[in-house]
Chain A
Amino acid sequence: MANRPVHFIWLLDCSFSMQGEKIAKLNYAIREAVPEMRSVAHDNPAAQLLLRTVTFSTTAQWLHQTPVPVDDFTWQDVQVDGMTNLGEALHLVARELQTPPMPQRALKPVLALVSDGVPTDDWKAGLKAVDATPWGRKAVRVAIAIGADADRGVLQEFLGNPELQPLDANSPKQLAAAIRWASTAAVKAASQPVAGDGSGVSPVKQPYAPPVLDDDDDDDVW
C-alpha cells in the first residue's frame, strides 16, 4: 500500500522585470507558504505533498526537479536574470505532467505561478502543452501577481477559470491562506462528479474567493 502523491510545482519568474522589491516579495511568498503547506500535509497524512520549482528568465530550468517531500523542502532565495520565458517553463512542466513520469494513481497536482507577467516567448504554446496533458487539465492552479503593474491577463489565462482571480502578493496573510487552500484542495481525497456530466449543474469550481482567514473550516471535503 502507498499514499497517493500530490505534486506541487512552483513556476517562478526570475526575469529582470522582477528586480528589486518584486523578487524580494517572491522569495518572501515562498518562505511564508512552506509552513502552511507543511501544516496541510500534517493534517492530511494520507497524501504525500511533494514540491518542485521551475525558475524562468532567459531560460527555464528546474531548481528542484526531483520531488521533495514538504518536510524536507528548504528555500534558497533566487536572483533575477534576463528575459521572461514563461512558455519554456510551461513546456518543462508539461513534460513532467505526462504519465509516466507522473503516476496514474496520484491526487491532483498543483501549479502555482508567481510572476509579474509580460512573457517574452510563445507562452500560449506552453500553456497549450500543459492543457494537453491529462494531469495538466486536472491541476489545481494558483497565480500570484507580483507588483501593482503586473500583467494580470496572462495570469488569468493561466488559471483557465473566469471564477478564479490572480492573487496579490501584497498581503502575506492572504497569500499564505491561498497557498493553504490550494494545497488542501489537492490533498483531500474525495471523488467528485465529472465536469459536464449533463446534469445541467455547473461543475464545481474551486471555491476561490480570497480565503476567509479566520475560518478554520477551509477544507471543502468531508
Chain B
Amino acid sequence: MVTLGVRRWETLRHSVQGVGKRQNQDWHDCQGSGSGTDPLVLAVADGHGSAVHARSALGARFAVDRFLVLASAFGRAAHDCHEPGRLTRLMTYARDDFPRALVHEWRQEALGHWDRNRPVVEEAAREPRPEEKLVLYGTTLIGAVLTPWLFVAWQIGDGDLAVVEHDGTLTRPLAPAEEDLGDETESLCGREAWRSMRMHWAPVFEQARAPRLVVLSTDGLSKSFASADGYAEFVLGLAGRLAEEGGTGVRESLPAWLAQASRYSGDDTTLTAAVRHPEAPPEASGPAAAPPPAEASAPAPAADTSAPPDPRTAAGPTGGDVDMERKTET
C-alpha cells in the first residue's frame, strides 16, 4: 500500500486476492497531488480471470497504466478551463475522444505484448485475429481525475465509483440504471469498446463543493454485500472513519476489510480512494477560487464509529462487527 502525502487529497488503496484464485487479476494505481499542474489520477481494473482470458492480469495492468498517462495529460490540459469555451471543449473530448484514445492505447499495448509473447502453436495454425488475441487480456476499468476545477471519471464494465459529496450525500454516478444479474460485464477487449465507456463530468465551481471522498473499487467489494445498500453503508462508514481517524487509522484497517469482503464475494477485491483534505487551499489561478469553506469540519460519521476497529474481528468501516454467519437468500 502506498500513501501520497498531499495537501489537497489523501489517498489510500489496497488489493486482496480472491479466495481460491490462482492469482490476483486486479490492478490499481494512483498518482498526483490534485493541483492544477499535478492532477490526482486514480484507477482500478479487474481482469476477467479465466482460461479464456489467461493474460487478463496483464490486461488490467496495461489499462491502469495507460489510463494514468492519458488522464494526467487531460487533467493538465484542464488547467486553463476557465477560458471561455474551454470547458465545453474539454467535456466533448472527455466524452468522445478520451475513450477512443484509451481503448486504442490499451489495444496497442496488449497486441504488442501478444506479438512479443506468442503462444506455442502448431506451425500451420492460423494467426488469430486481433479481437481473438485481445480476449486473452480482457479487463474492466474505472478511472478518475481530480483537479481543483474538475472531477471526471470513466468506467467500462463492472465495479463501482462512489462519491461522498460536499454535503455528505452518497452518489454512484456511473452505476447502471439497473444492476446486472450475474457476472457478465462490458470489457476493454470488446470491439468498439469505447462505446461502452461511461463518463461522469463534474466541474468544481466552488472549492467547498468538491467531493469529500471518491472511491473506486472492483466488483469483489460490492458483490460481498447482499444488496446495493450494504455497499453504500460501507462507503459512508469509510467516510465517517476517515473523518474521525484520518487516513492513517483507516489505512491500517483497510486490508482486513477487503480480505473479509473477498471471503464473501470469492473475488479479487481492490479499492483506491481519495479523501479531500478539509483545509485544502484554493488554487490561485482557478476560475472560482473560493475561500476554504467555513463548514469544512469533518462530516458526521454515517454510523456509530465509537468502537475502535478491531483487526481480529475485521470489523467493517461502520464500526460494527460483521456477522460471520452465512446468510441464506432466497
Contact = CB atoms under 8 A, between A and B. Distances in A.
Contacts of B20: 43-44, 46
B266 A66 contact: no
A134 B264 contact: no
Contact-residue bracket for chain B: 35 or more
B34 interface: no
A222 B25 contact: yes
B138 interface: yes
A4 B140 CA distance: 21
B177 interface: no
Nearest to B266: A46
Interface string A196-210: 011111001000000
B40 to A, nearest CB: 27
A195 B225 CA distance: 26
B75 interface: no
B143 interface: no
B187 A222 contact: no
Contacts of B54: 222
Prevailing SS type, chain A contact patch = loop
A175 B290 CA distance: 70
B223 A105 contact: yes
A193 interface: yes
A30 B306 CA distance: 52
A1 B261 contact: yes
Interface string B214-229: 0000011001111100
A134 B266 CA distance: 23
Interface residues of A, number: 44
Interface string B223-267: 111110010000000000000000000000000000011111111
Interface in A79-135: 99, 101, 103-108, 134-135
B184 A195 contact: yes
B52 interface: yes
B322 interface: yes
Contact of A193 (B22, B48, B328): B48
A138 B129 CA distance: 28
Contacts of A191: 46, 48-49, 140, 157-158, 183-185, 219
Interface of A: 1-5, 43-48, 50, 66-67, 69, 99, 101, 103-108, 134-135, 138, 187-195, 197-201, 204, 220-222
Given A101-B330, A191-B48, A222-B21, 17 more contacts: A3-B264, A5-B330, A45-B263, A46-B18, A46-B263, A46-B265, A67-B328, A104-B179, A106-B181, A108-B183, A189-B223, A190-B49, A191-B183, A194-B184, A195-B184, A221-B49, A222-B54
